[in-house]
């Protein structure tokens, strides 16, 4: 369970505070995978970042006793000046692993980017980045209860998609997803429930189809 | 491999260790000469000053051989300078890593403090070792006091860097201002002179400067022949702790801003 206690998040703009979330009180289950729905700029990524501890609410608290991953996305997590391998080492170390060799090897094998693994991440294409980023969470075998995914699949090639899908499915029993994607097909494949961000609030739907319906009714105006 | 829950302190320790490995690589490993420069820089600076002193006909200052006198001023000042400049940009050079919840913004600052402390003591020992080999008597008269003065000075650097980190959030050019302040500091911190070489009526020009106090106290501790008339432990400790306190408060206030830079 992830509990939102009176959570407010705003960004200061020239026109004053622009609220993304305002006094949100909600409890999200962690026994189902959840899709986050909303148009661009409504705060999906911010929500995921706050869940992952990369960003903080301006007011209130997000409390959970589950192990939640960091936000897996295009920019998230990888430091450009370090190589893929160094990034792996770093993440292993902050998670308390003393011996990082095994993890490096796992990510290396998963990412399939060959010698690039020892080049700085800033020289990677976005597809290569997401391979390493994804391999990192997977290879670690942290046994995360919840994996946060922010548009990660969007840049992968067919092979990578296939591979990550198999991996995700093999972990479904223990690891649930909280996922942002603009591809409904992808969301339907992985998620059972949904959240729609609406009026600076979160609306939870235990059934994904209801959430998609609500999202389309609220936001999709172009027919 | 299942992990058991770590305490906050344990997490910070692991994170600082991870950052340490990363920072050492960028600080010293980027060029093969990285470690060399850490030693060559203060030596070169002291040498130039020593040459000037020799040219104007001084072979000892306050009863201490010129080279040793200068190194005992250059080393702490260099370390202080490096601490302030390196630590104050510690946050901005590690922003991508705050995506991990384990990494909080103060971690890179702590990491860099560890690096500067270690570099300072190692380089100092190597230089003194070489000087001893060349036949100078380099054993400090009061080692504990020398270490204390150096630690207080670096603590001051840590405090100032914390304040600078917060200042940089609001004003990017604060770094330029810092550079402008640090350059004249070299001349008024008693690196190539000490209080007894200045008429007592002018002491007030230097007595406000905590770096001057730190260097005076270092020399007092180092050389049996020198007793500082100005250096005050109380003043140095007070300024250091004040800066650290203010710095930590500013950090606490701005911690969310740092993390979402």
Q: Average per-residue pLDDT in chain B?
A: 88
The neighbour count for residue A12, using CB atoms within 10 Å, is 9
Mean pLDDT of chain A: 84
Measured CA to CA, the distance from residue A132 to residue A76 in angstroms comes to 11
Q: Shortest CA distance to B248 belongs to which of B174, B163, B169, B167?
A: B163
The ipTM is: 0.81
Quote the domain boundaries for residue B23: 8-259
B204 is a domain residue = yes
Does residue A180 contact residue A36 with C-beta atoms inside 8 Å? yes
pLDDT above 90: residue A141: no
The residue ranges of every structural domain in chain A are: 76-141
8 Å CB contact of B11 and A96: yes
Within 13 Å and on the Cβ side, how many CA atoms surround B225?
11
pLDDT digits (tens, 9 = 90+) for B194-243: 888 888 888 888 889 999 999 999 999 999 888 888 889 999 999 999 99
Q: Rounded distance, CA B83 to CA B243, Å?
A: 14
For residues B140-153, give the mean pLDDT: 94
Burial label for B98, CB within 10 Å (0-12, 13-18, 19+), is buried
Confidence of residue A153 (pLDDT cuts 50, 70, 90): low
φ, ψ of residue A204 to 5 degrees: the values are -95, 135
List, for residues B96-130, the tens digit of each pLDDT value.
888 888 899 999 999 999 999 998 998 889 888 88
Q: Is residue A15 packed enough to be buried (19+ CB in 10 Å), middle (13-18) or exposed (0-12)? A: exposed
Q: Is pLDDT of B43 > 60?
A: yes
B106 occurs within a structural domain: yes
Q: What percent of chain A has pLDDT over 90?
A: 6
Q: Quick one: tokens of A205?
A: 């739907």
pLDDT value at residue A76: 61
Residue A158: helix, strand or coil by DSSP?
A: helix
What average pLDDT does the segment B27-56 reach? 77
What Rg value do the Cα atoms of chain A yield, rounded? 18
Domain count across chain B? 1
| A174 contacts chain B (CB < 8 A) | no
What is the mean predicted confidence (pLDDT) over A134-148?
77
Does B35 or A1 have the greater pLDDT score? A1
CA–CA dist B222, B38 (Å, integer)? 22
Phi, psi of B140, deg, nearest 5: -60, 145
Query: Tokens 């004040």 appear where?
Result: B242
Is the confidence at residue A183, as pLDDT, over 90?
no
3-state secondary structure chain B: CCCCCCCHHHHHHHHHHHHHHHHHHHHHCCCCCHHHHHHHHHHHHHHHHHHHHHHCCCCEECCEEHHHHHHHHHHHHHHHHHHHHHHHCCCHHHHHHHHCCCCCCHHHHHHHHHHHHHHHHHHHHHHHHHHHHCCCCCCCCCHHHHHHHHHHHHHHHHHHHHHHHHHHHHCCCHHHHHHHHHHHHHHHCCCCCCHHHCCHHHCHHHHCCHHHHHHHHHHHHHCCCCCCCCCCHHHHHHHHHHHHHHHHHHHHHHHHHHHCC
Query: CA separation (Å) from A166 to A144, A162, B147?
Result: 17, 6, 58
Q: Is the pLDDT of residue A140 over 70?
A: no
Chain A contact present for B14, CB below 8 A: yes
Asked if B168 contacts B175 with a C-beta cutoff of 8 angstroms, the reply is yes
Q: What is the pLDDT of residues B5-23, one digit of tens each?
A: 788 899 999 999 999 988 8
Residue B248 has pLDDT above 90, yes or no: yes
Contact B96 A79 (CB under 8 A): yes
Q: What angle do CA A106, A112, A116 make, to 5 degrees?
A: 100
The reported pLDDT for the residue numbered B1 is 40
pLDDT score of A160: 80
More confident of the two residues B149 and B8: B149
In a mutagenesis test of the A interface, which of B2, B5, B27, B96 is the best target, namely the one with the most A β-carbons within 10 Å?
B96
Question: For the residues A179-195, what does the mean pLDDT come to?
Answer: 86
Under the banding of pLDDT at 50, 70 and 90, the label for residue A74 is: low
B2 falls within a domain: no
Pinpoint the alpha helices (H) of chain A: 44-51, 84-94, 101-111, 126-140, 158-171, 184-190, 208-219
Tokens 């080049």, located at residue: A119
The mean-pLDDT minimum among A141-155, B33-47, B228-242 falls in A141-155
Q: Give the chain B residue whose CA is nearest to the CA of A75.
A: B96
Does B261 score more than 70 pLDDT? no
Give the pLDDT of residue B2. 44
- Quick one: CA torsion of B189, B195, B199, B202, rounded to 10 degrees? 40
Report the alpha-carbon distance of residue B241 to residue B244 in Å, rounded.
5
Output b/e per residue, B52-86; b: 16+ Cβ within 10 A. Answer: ebeeeeeeebbebbbbbbbbbbbbbbbbbbbbbbb
Per-residue pLDDT at B76? 93
**Interchain contact A76–B (C-beta under 8 A):** yes
Distance CA A111, CA A84 (A): 10
pLDDT of res. A223 = 56
Is the separation of the CB atoms in B95 and B261 below 8 Å?
Answer: yes
- Indicate yes or no: CB of B102 within 8 angstroms of CB of A86: no
Mean pLDDT of A144-166: 78
What's the rounded Cα separation, in Å, for the pair A105 and A99? 12
Structural domain includes residue B1: no
Q: Which two tokens stand for residue A82?
A: 């370090």
Q: What is the pLDDT of residue B18?
A: 92
Q: How many whole angstroms separate alpha carbon A193 and alpha carbon A200? A: 19
Share of chain A above pLDDT 70, in %: 94
Total count of residues recorded for chain B: 261
Q: Out of B11, B22, B100, whose CB is closest to A70?
A: B100
Cα separation, B50 vs A213, whole angstroms: 80
Bridge-based pairing of strands A2-13 and A59-64 is antiparallel
Chain-chain contact of A86 with B14 (C-beta, under 8 angstroms): no
User: With contacts defined as CB-CB under 8 Å, which chain B residues touch A96?
Assistant: 3, 6, 10-11, 14
CA pair distance B66, A54, nearest whole angstrom: 53
Residue B55 in contact with partner chain A when CB distance is under 8 A: no
């Amino acid at each position: 369970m992830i509990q939102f206690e009176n959570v407010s998040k705003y960004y200061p703009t020239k026109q004053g505070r622009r609220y993304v979330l305002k006094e949100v009180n909600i409890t999200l289950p962690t026994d189902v995978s959840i899709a986050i729905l909303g148009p661009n700029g409504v705060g999906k990524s911010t929500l995921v970042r706050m869940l992952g501890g990369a960003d903080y609410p301006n007011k209130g608290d997000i409390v959970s006793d589950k192990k939640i991953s960091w936000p897996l996305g295009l920019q998230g997590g990888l430091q450009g000046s370090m190589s893929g391998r160094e990034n792996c080492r770093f993440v292993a170390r902050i998670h308390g692993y003393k011996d990082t060799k095994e993890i490096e090897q796992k990510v290396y094998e998963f990412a399939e980017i060959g010698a690039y693994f020892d080049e700085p991440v800033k020289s990677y294409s976005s597809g290569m980045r997401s391979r390493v980023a994804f391999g990192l969470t997977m290879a670690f075998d942290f046994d995360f209860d919840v994996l946060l995914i922010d548009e990660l699949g969007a840049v992968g090639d067919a092979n990578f998609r296939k591979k990550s899908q198999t991996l995700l499915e093999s972990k479904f029993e223990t690891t649930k997803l909280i996922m942002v994607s603009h591809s409904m097909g992808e969301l339907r494949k992985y998620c059972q429930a949904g959240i729609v961000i609406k009026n600076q609030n979160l609306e939870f739907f235990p059934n994904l189809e209801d959430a998609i319906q609500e999202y389309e009714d609220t936001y999709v105006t172009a027919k | 491999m299942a992990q058991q829950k770590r305490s906050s302190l344990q997490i910070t320790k692991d994170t600082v260790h991870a950052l340490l490995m990363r920072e050492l690589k960028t600080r010293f490993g980027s060029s093969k000469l990285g470690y060399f420069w850490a030693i060559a820089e203060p030596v070169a600076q002291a040498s130039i000053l020593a040459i000037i002193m020799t040219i104007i006909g001084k072979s000892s200052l306050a009863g201490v051989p010129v080279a040793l006198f200068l190194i005992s001023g250059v080393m702490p000042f260099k370390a202080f300078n490096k601490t302030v400049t390196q630590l104050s940009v510690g946050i901005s050079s590690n922003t991508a890593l705050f995506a991990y919840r384990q990494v909080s913004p103060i971690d890179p600052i702590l990491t860099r403090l560890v690096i500067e402390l270690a570099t300072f003591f190692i380089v100092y020992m190597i230089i003194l070792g070489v000087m001893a080999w060349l036949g100078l008597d380099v054993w400090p008269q009061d080692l504990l006091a020398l270490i204390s003065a150096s630690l207080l000075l670096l603590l001051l650097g840590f405090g100032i860097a914390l304040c600078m980190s917060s200042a940089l959030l609001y004003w990017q050019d604060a770094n330029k201002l810092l550079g402008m302040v640090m350059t004249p500091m070299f001349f008024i911190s008693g690196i190539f002179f000490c209080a007894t070489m200045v008429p007592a009526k002018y002491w007030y020009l230097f007595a406000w400067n905590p770096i001057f106090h730190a260097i005076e106290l270092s020399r007092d501790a180092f050389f049996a022949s020198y007793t500082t008339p100005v250096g005050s432990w109380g003043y140095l400790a007070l300024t250091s702790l004040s800066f650290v306190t203010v710095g930590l408060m500013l950090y606490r206030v701005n911690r969310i801003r740092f993390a979402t830079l």
